[in-house]
Amino acid sequence: MIDLARLPPPAVIEELDFETIFQGKLGRFRTLYPQFSAVLETDPVIKLLELATYDELTLRARINDAAQAVLLPFARGSDLEQLAALLGVSRLLLDAGNPTAQPPVPATYEDDERLRLRAQMALEGETVAGSRDSYVFHALSADAHVADVAVDSPVPGTVRVTVLSVDGDGSPSAGLLGTVAAYLSAEERRPLSDTVQVRAASLRPFALRATLYRRPGPDGDPAEAAARAALAAYLADCRKIGRDVPRSGLYAALHVPGIVRVDLSEPALDLVMAGNEVALCTELAIQVVNSDER
């Protein structure tokens, strides 16, 4: 499957620069009116040209937004739903909410990134050959509570589907596993020669302990906050079935601008996951101290 993040920037998206547009307008005005010689920024003509430049810049930005809205890697919200509908994919309901509660609890749906992934994999769902991505697509489409899926074949004719849940620590309930199994076993989705087994992902807990050395002064607190946010994002990205957690990745996440050194005491080794395992950080201890390094 194509990694959308690695695609080159679309040529339809224009780089915008106020000064370039302004100088173009000023040059054209001087061609039309050679006698113009004002050099002060307060000149009314200059102000009118700046206003026209701002309006054009705003229009071009809106055109950029409209172009991005019809591209799968960039579309959001209802724009993404329109693109997904072309592929026969709709946003799944995660929680129905409670409209009669006081105050009302709104319904919750799968997020854009999950919908984007299913839209990208939709054509795999049309195959009758039982490809790996086909099973992944259908398992994700079975229920919005499915966070991740891994597929393997331990013996010929048997397809084993491993499921991670979005709820709690990621352990799927028996009901969710049953829903996925029933959805995948439907005759229109499963090749007759396949036997489908659905199992829960195995959670592998680990502790993370680190000491961050920050520069003293007013930049220290933002650096600490940035390091914690970067670590949280990295751990969320690692929350996939079979995804390793290397120490180098943890160092990279914690070593943000303003942090001069990172000592990572745990985990002591890279965490290498089996095909059915998911790394789960159950203990997090980050100590931040001032450093004499500059």
Residues in the chain: 294
Last residue of a domain, one of 165, 200, 235: 200
Question: Whole domain around residue 23: which residue ranges?
Answer: 4-68
Based on the domain organization, do 147 and 189 belong to the same domain? yes
Cα–Cα distance, 117 to 94 (Å, whole number): 16
Q: Is 263 part of any domain? A: yes
**DSSP 3-state assignment of 186?**
coil
CA 161 and chain centroid, separation: 23
Based on the domain organization, do 191 and 243 belong to the same domain? no
Last residue of a domain, one of 184, 200, 216: 200
Q: Is 115 part of any domain? A: no
Q: Is 52 part of any domain? A: yes
- pLDDT the model gives residue 220: 60
What's 126's domain CATH number? 3.30.300
Based on the domain organization, do 26 and 50 belong to the same domain? yes
User: Which amino acid appears at position 97 of this protein?
Assistant: G
Count of the separate structural domains present in the chain: 3
- pLDDT the model gives residue 160: 94
- pLDDT the model gives residue 219: 59
Q: Is 25 part of any domain? A: yes
What global pTM score does this model have?
0.77
Q: Is 273 part of any domain? A: yes
Neighbouring C-alpha atoms within 13 Å toward the C-beta of 176: 25
Last residue of a domain, one of 200, 234, 254: 200
Q: Decide the pairing of beta strands 277-290 and 202-214.
A: parallel
CA 209 and chain centroid, separation: 26
Q: Is 78 part of any domain? A: no
- pLDDT the model gives residue 143: 94
Q: Which mean pLDDT values do the consecutive 10-residue runs of the chain (294 residues) have?
A: 87 93 91 81 86 95 94 94 92 90 91 94 77 90 94 91 94 95 86 88 95 77 89 95 96 92 93 95 92 66
